[in-house]
Amino acid sequence: MADESLGALAAAACQRAVQLGQPIVLCYSEKVSPVAPLAWLCYQPRDRLFYWRQADVTLTGTGASASWQGGGDGRFPQAAAFAAAAVTHFVGEVPILVGGFAFAEDSSQNCLWLPQRLLRQTADGVRLQVQCQILPGMDATSVAALVAQQMAIAQKPLSSAGEPFLGAMPSCRVDDRQQVLWQETMHRALMAIQKGTLKKVVLARTLEVFASAPWQPWAVLARLQRQFPNCLIFLLESPDGRLFLGASPERLFQMEPGWLTCDAIAGSMERGQDFTADQRLADALWHSAKERHEHALVVQSICDRLGLCGFLPQPGDLPQVLKLANVQHLYTPIRAQLPRPSLGQVFALLQSLHPTAAVGGEPRQEALDFLAAWEPRDRGWYAAPVGWLDGAGRATFAVGIRSAYLVGDRAELFAGAGIVAASRPEDETAETQLKFSAMLDALGVPQ
């Protein structure tokens, strides 16, 4: 876009805001040469960082032109109202919102924001996008100057050479003081299942890692991307300034014109040292009555909740084996037709699907009550929805697993295990260790 079109867009945005009597979003973008998104992020101001990579799009953002934060049982309707106000009325490109919702509804770690500067990489190329909220009465010349200033900040890293995030990781030590509490909670869960109070509950275990220097998030993300090329790679800065990042194999849902897709993932097994051993373990996973039962609970739960939202879910006939670098899972894709995607459907799905039986349990409320009573640590965004949505009815939210919080030189890692009647504590502990290995490798922790 030329400078004249920026001026014209600014004038149109100011006029529209006056006509509507409310703020609107001006999204101005320019096509740029390919650039490594993590290198771009590394050189940007460290303000409300966001990074997201899925198969068909990479989004990298900094700053926030508008934001929402809330909690309680009204968090999804509140977020929906903010999103409608932010992306329904706009001038220029389609605006994009990003954010996450805490696992527990009473947490304050629920937020959405409009990134001020966004690097958007798709099959059509790479674009820099500046997103500004325009208030009624703002001057078009001042608005154009503000957008040009933000575009200049966004363009600054494009000429920077090198990728400093590929350096060596700092030395570190692991603290596993939560292991005793984890074992006690597992025994309580098995007792509740034996009494018939629960069918399944997913317990979260934590590890702390302390480094000799502050963590560089782009270094951790780069290692995750190399190790898990087919996972959803993400980084979000929480309202309290912590960085939450990970490599999730599990989409809560993806909305696009025509289709809605969800991932049912439950049931785990280690990888083998060679092809023969790996296949033997995969066969054992697929034929395990305990793992198939745990997986079937998740598939049925997702299908039931999609039905309550008015969809006709179409799950795969039989589970597949999903092979990741450090672990393999039972996996069933679930699809539903979506003739006219809408913003309202995004938040209806978030409220209905979260938490799935893969990260919460069954029955849902009884499992959540158990976790609230006995889990020693607030999960925050772990096992909760993180992702993005836009004003055109597209959205992708991941389940925030295989993840960690980074704060300075400290990392807090999370891993979960589904406890059912046939669970053995030693097996569930080994499963969490397998899941921890993804983030431990990314942090450079020897294993």
280/278 Cα distance (integer angstroms): 5
For 353-370, write each residue's pLDDT tens digit: 999 999 999 999 999 999
What percentage of residues in the chain have a pLDDT greater than 70? 97
Q: What is the pLDDT of residue 159?
A: 59
User: Position of tokens 């891993």?
Assistant: 415
Structural domain for 317, as ranges: 172-213+241-442
Contacts of 420-426 spanning 24+ positions with Cβ under 8 A: 420/193, 420/199, 420/200, 420/290, 420/293, 420/294, 420/297, 421/190, 421/193, 421/194, 422/289, 422/290, 422/293, 423/186, 423/190, 423/290, 425/183, 425/186, 425/187, 425/190
Q: What is the pLDDT of residue 447?
A: 74
Rounded to an integer, the average pLDDT of 411-417 is: 95
Question: Does 159 share its domain with 176?
Answer: no
Please answer whether residues 233 and 221 qualify as being in contact, where contact means their C-beta atoms are separated by less than 8 angstroms. Answer: yes
Rounded to an integer, the average pLDDT of 185-203 is: 95
Q: What is the pLDDT of residue 2?
A: 45
- The DSSP secondary-structure symbol of 109 reads -
Rounded to an integer, the average pLDDT of 304-330 is: 94
109/105 Cα distance (integer angstroms): 9
For 5-24, write each residue's pLDDT tens digit: 899 999 999 999 999 999 99
Residue 234 included in any domain: no
Residue 322 included in any domain: yes
For 376-395, write each residue's pLDDT tens digit: 788 999 999 999 999 888 99
Q: Helix/strand/coil (H, E, C) string of 181-194? A: HHHHHHHHHHHHHH
Rounded to an integer, the average pLDDT of 322-343 is: 92
Please answer whether residues 358 and 367 qualify as being in contact, where contact means their C-beta atoms are separated by less than 8 angstroms. Answer: no
Q: Helix/strand/coil (H, E, C) string of 335-383? A: EEEECCCCHHHHHHHHHHHCCCCCCCEECHHHHHHHHHHHCCCCCCCCC
Question: Does 325 share its domain with 382?
Answer: yes
What percentage of residues in the chain have a pLDDT greater than 90? 81
Residue type at position 220: V
Q: What is the count of structural domains for the chain?
A: 2
Q: Under DSSP, is residue 421 helix (H, G, I), strand (E, B) or coil?
A: coil
323/329 Cα distance (integer angstroms): 7
Question: Does 153 share its domain with 246?
Answer: no
Is residue 269's pLDDT more than 50? yes
Q: What is the pLDDT of residue 1?
A: 45
Residue 71 included in any domain: yes
Residue 59 neighbours by CB distance under 10 Å: 24
Residue type at position 19: Q
Please answer whether residues 251 and 396 qualify as being in contact, where contact means their C-beta atoms are separated by less than 8 angstroms. Answer: yes
Question: Does 285 share its domain with 404?
Answer: yes
Q: What is the pLDDT of residue 161?
A: 43
Is residue 230's pLDDT more than 60? yes
Q: For all residues of the chain together, what is the average pLDDT?
A: 92
In angstroms, the Cα distances linking 355 to 75, 322, 362, 420, 441 are 14, 21, 10, 17, 27
- What does the block give as tokens for 217? 């998030």
Residue 337: which pLDDT band, with cuts at 50, 70 and 90?
A: very high
For the question of whether the overall pTM of this predicted structure is more than 0.85, the answer is yes
Is residue 178's pLDDT more than 90? no
Question: Does 344 share its domain with 403?
Answer: yes
Domain termination residue (choose one: 148, 164, 180) = 164
- On the question of a cis peptide bond just before residue 363, with omega within 30 degrees of 0, the verdict is yes
Residue 232 included in any domain: no
Residue 76: which pLDDT band, with cuts at 50, 70 and 90?
A: very high
Question: Does 140 share its domain with 176?
Answer: no
Residues classed as catalytic: 200, 250
Question: Does 121 share its domain with 69?
Answer: yes
192/373 Cα distance (integer angstroms): 13
Please answer whether residues 399 and 250 qualify as being in contact, where contact means their C-beta atoms are separated by less than 8 angstroms. Answer: yes
Q: What is the pLDDT of residue 88?
A: 87
Question: Does 133 share its domain with 252?
Answer: no
Residue 413 included in any domain: yes
Question: Does 201 share its domain with 91?
Answer: no
Q: Under DSSP, is residue 304 helix (H, G, I), strand (E, B) or coil?
A: helix
Q: Which residues contact 73 (CB under 8 A, 6 or more apart)?
A: 105
Q: What is the CATH number of the domain that holds 246?
A: 3.60.120.10
Q: Which residues contact 382 (CB under 8 A, 6 or more apart)?
A: 103, 204, 400, 401, 403, 414
Residue 74 included in any domain: yes
Rounded to an integer, the average pLDDT of 89-114 is: 94
- What residues does 417 pair with on adjacent strands? 203
Question: Does 97 share its domain with 42?
Answer: yes
Question: Does 118 share its domain with 97?
Answer: yes
For 113-159, write each residue's pLDDT tens digit: 999 999 999 999 999 999 999 999 999 999 999 999 999 999 987 65
Question: Taking Cα atoms as reference points, which of 272, 224, 278 lies closest to residue 248?
Answer: 224
Q: What is the per-residue DSSP string for 138-195?
A: --HHHHHHHHHHHHHHHHGGGG--S-GGGSPPPPEEEE-TTHHHHHHHHHHHHHHHHT
Residue 223 included in any domain: no
Domain termination residue (choose one: 164, 186, 202) = 164
Residue 141 included in any domain: yes
Q: What is the pLDDT of residue 106?
A: 86
Domain termination residue (choose one: 164, 184, 199) = 164
Q: Under DSSP, is residue 21 helix (H, G, I), strand (E, B) or coil?
A: coil
Question: Does 382 share its domain with 259?
Answer: yes
